[in-house]
Structure 1
Amino acid sequence: MPKRHVPYVDREEFFALVCSGVPLQVAAAAVGVSVSSAGLWWRASGLMEPAIQIGRCGGLPGTAPRPVPGAHGPAGPKRQRRSLSSEDRSVIAAGLRAGLSYAQIAGLVGRDKSVVCREVARNTGPDGSYWGPVAHRSAHERRHRPKAFKLVDNPALCRRIEAWMDQGWSPKLIAEVLAKDHPHINPGGSMDRSMDRSMDRVSHETIYQALYVQTRGQLRADLHKQLSLKRRHRTSRDTPRQGSTRYAEAFTISQRPPEVDDRAVPGHWEGDLILGTGCGSAIGTLVERTTRFTILLHLPHRHDAQTVAAAMIAQMRNLPDHLRRSITWDRGVELANYEQIQLELATTVYFCDPHSPWQRGTNENTNRLLRHWFAKGTDLSVHTATDLQRIAATLNQRPRPTLNLRTPAQALNELLANPAAA
């Protein structure tokens, strides 16, 4: 016996009944199809649970679907809705069946076409069909709280996050690297289910929740200590050092050429000291503004002007001329020999305004990253020159969002290989 053709409206009525809480057997009888055929429709629709829990979303068996809060009929007040209504999804289903584009459908429901694109991507069934009632029910299911925490069943991803944080990576950087490495997940959140869940991506907020909110043991209990500040809340900045009239004749940051501010030309550096216990130990830091390449100055015993100048000259002497155009520093006494530095490195030293360390934003941010290895209140003299080289190399091999996830080492090597580009 040939199979009876079931009209589209009958199938839509079946889905509307099941999604409102009517048992699948009753809905099948209402549209005149067998239970087995109805089961095949349901499994192909995308909502894979064959049974609907009565009263969870719809009404009791035989009752009409509950109205969607915030949904209005044609005569209702017009306003920007946060979520699509059941009527919107019915229009989308009809538009897809009629072969309309996403832009045309978006015009019918009064939303942006990106909203329609994401909606179809999320709620299309395995057979490529989109049914308004099923899509609305699926959207409702996803809104249930509390949600299953994403890292609970993903130990492989947890281990990767721990390894990266042990190297000083921030949750924001980890999230961006995962998004770049695993683009199989579309903007709507769906993914190829054949992919291993260890290849999933997470947001930085998910990682922070695992550290501070969701205390379920997905990540190591001590992992929050690997954050740059090693604490949960931000605190006010340290009081900046007082300025000095010894730099009255020096170049100020306002005299820097415009090319420094827009980072269009490489070779402009920012520097400062990271101080250890009792200010008795210190490490000098130099960061190139365009590539974020970092150089560390070994100052194990003292950080007076003569020692800092000698260490800086030794580290930067071998750079090509086009990569040491200028150095910007804070008004600390450690750079009192700036004229010697300008002479021997053939560069220009600029100084920030008094009490304005934020004018060296690139260096301040890098120093914050370096605190992962050089914690505040510790003796920095225990770090050897070899230690500093290793830590600088680690930081220079860390992907940077500002470099489109290239590393500072890669960016600097490109400039060294192609001087004309600089």
Structure 2
Amino acid sequence: MKKTYTHLSVEERAVIQVRLEQGASVRAIARTLARSPATVSRELARNGWRNPARRPRRRGRPPLAGGYRATSAQKRARRLAATPRRPRKLTSDPWLWGRVVELLSTGHSPEQVSALLVRMHSEHARVSHETIYTALYALPRGALRRELIGLLRQRRTRRRPRSQGADRRGRIPNMTSIHLRPPEVDERVIPGHWEGDLIKGARNASAVGTLVERTSLFVSLVKVDNASAQAAVAGFSGVLNRIDAQRRLSLTYDQGKEMAQHEQLSRNTGMTVYFADPHSPWQRGINENTNGLLRQYLPKGADLSVFSQNELDDIAWRLNTRIRKSLGWKCPAELFIPDDFDMKAHYEKIVAPRP
């Protein structure tokens, strides 16, 4: 049975005072409260109580309840609970707090900020992501708190469960199942195998294609005129053909109707298209996770048709230059285009130098 500990309540402290006035022992009080004798003993000691039997006798009336007062003990406990034992790290270091805010404003998550500070500075800059979250949500309510929490990707304090709707899509002809995909794709050792999807805008009236390379997590975004099969083939073909042929080997997609002309896409790009099972987002988990990150820049209530291909390329570059825990705190660009990207030089451009 799991043991849990709760602090003494004001009612329990009142019982302690009354039982002391009645001359009860510490063990008897503990039995009354169904508490450990050590809990009662520590409560009395921290509030200045001394056992009268162990004190020398003096003239006059003995102190009531041995010197213990429930109201004073409760006030002391409430005061200590509101006062941290040590100053918060970010509160006591303005430079570190400013650096955290700078990196959050560039789209990094608190966990990525934590790793990036250690990587680019020293152990002096080490701060856990939980400390960052605590500092943000400990801010008093107001415009500053809303502004800083707005830098977080989800911008909310609670996660919402995702519901799964009914699948109203028809079957796509000549599909190649994900279960026929070569083993090396699952092992994520050879680069060039991609996952793809469409993310929708307001009222599903606009869409943007998303592509993520399974090994490096490198992201490419595709402007599509609409969610039709013809528009999807044209958009995906154009973006994929910008990539070297040896780095575009296969594409894993869900069974969305926009990929009905997958055979034409294969002819345009030379890639084999594999289809995941219905209602199995974990089979394309990398792409699903990337879509969640992209919602920071392409929110569900927005009209996605206003984004040009150049603007989508800029958004993809932000993700590609953001360090990832699963990559050993490297960024996708370091792995996908190592000869063309310098992480340290990029970081020094986006963050002000230390005074």
Tell whether the structures are fold-level matches, with TM greater than 0.5. Answer: yes
| Distance apart, 1:278 and its partner CA | 0.1
Measured against aligned partners, the alpha-carbon deviations of 1:156-183 in whole angstroms (never above 9, x if no partner) come to 2222222222222111111111232344
| Distance apart, 1:392 and its partner CA | 1.1
Q: What amino acid is aligned across from residue 284 of structure 1 in structure 2?
A: G
CA distance in 2, matches of 1:304, 1:180: 44
Aligned runs of 1:217-236 on 2, under 5 Å? 220-236=145-161
Indicate whether 1:164 and 2:103 are aligned.
Answer: yes
| Distance apart, 1:397 and its partner CA | 1.1
Indicate whether 1:294 and 2:219 are aligned.
Answer: yes
Secondary structure in 1 matching 2:92: coil
Residue equivalent to 2:204: 279
Greater relative contact order (CA < 8 Å, ≥ 6 in sequence):
2
Match of 1:249 among 152, 174, 177: 174
Indicate whether 1:333 and 2:272 are aligned.
Answer: no
Residue equivalent to 2:316: 392
CA distance in 1, matches of 2:151, 2:111: 14
| Distance apart, 1:402 and its partner CA | 1.9
Indicate whether 1:210 and 2:141 are aligned.
Answer: no
* Kept after mapping to 2: 8 A contact 1:331/1:352: yes
CA distance in 2, matches of 1:163, 1:315: 32
Alpha-carbon spacing, 1:323–1:279, altered in 2? closer, same or farther (3 Å): same
Aligned runs of 1:59-74 on 2, under 5 Å? none
TM-score when normalising by structure 2: 0.68
Secondary structure in 1 matching 2:221: strand
Measured against aligned partners, the alpha-carbon deviations of 1:75-115 in whole angstroms (never above 9, x if no partner) come to xxxxxxxxxxxxxxxxxxxxxxxxxxxxxxxxxxxxxxxxx
* Kept after mapping to 1: 8 A contact 2:172/2:257: no
* Kept after mapping to 1: 8 A contact 2:137/2:145: no
| Distance apart, 1:286 and its partner CA | 0.2
CA distance in 1, matches of 2:319, 2:230: 27
Indicate whether 1:368 and 2:307 are aligned.
Answer: no
CA distance in 2, matches of 1:156, 1:220: 19
Aligned runs of 1:165-180 on 2, under 5 Å? 165-180=104-119
| Distance apart, 1:154 and its partner CA | 2.1
Q: What amino acid is aligned across from residue 218 of structure 2 in structure 1?
A: F
CA distance in 1, matches of 2:275, 2:165: 14
Q: What amino acid is aligned across from residue 356 of structure 1 in structure 2?
A: S
CA distance in 1, matches of 2:119, 2:236: 37
Q: What number of residue pairs does the alignment pair up?
A: 265
Residue equivalent to 1:151: 90
Alpha-carbon spacing, 1:284–1:238, altered in 2? closer, same or farther (3 Å): farther
Comparing 237-246 with 305-314, greater Cα deviation is found at 237-246
Residue equivalent to 2:326: 402
| Distance apart, 1:415 and its partner CA | 8.3
Alpha-carbon spacing, 1:170–1:335, altered in 2? closer, same or farther (3 Å): same
CA distance in 1, matches of 2:339, 2:228: 33
Residue equivalent to 2:54: none
* Kept after mapping to 2: 8 A contact 1:241/1:332: no
Match of 1:352 among 276, 295, 305: 276
* Kept after mapping to 2: 8 A contact 1:168/1:369: no
CA distance in 2, matches of 1:240, 1:163: 39
Residue equivalent to 1:9: none
Alpha-carbon spacing, 1:156–1:402, altered in 2? closer, same or farther (3 Å): same
* Kept after mapping to 1: 8 A contact 2:237/2:265: yes
Measured against aligned partners, the alpha-carbon deviations of 1:93-151 in whole angstroms (never above 9, x if no partner) come to xxxxxxxxxxxxxxxxxxxxxxxxxxxxxxxxxxxxxxxxxxxxxxxxxxx94431111
Alpha-carbon spacing, 1:368–1:241, altered in 2? closer, same or farther (3 Å): farther
Q: What amino acid is aligned across from residue 369 of structure 1 in structure 2?
A: L
Match of 1:322 among 221, 242, 246: 246
Aligned runs of 1:69-84 on 2, under 5 Å? none
Secondary structure in 1 matching 2:316: helix
Indicate whether 1:258 and 2:183 are aligned.
Answer: yes
Secondary structure in 2 matching 1:365: helix
Gap runs ≥5 in structure 2: 1-44, 51-82, 342-355
Q: What amino acid is aligned across from residue 148 of structure 1 in structure 2?
A: P
* Kept after mapping to 2: 8 A contact 1:243/1:354: no
* Kept after mapping to 2: 8 A contact 1:210/1:216: no
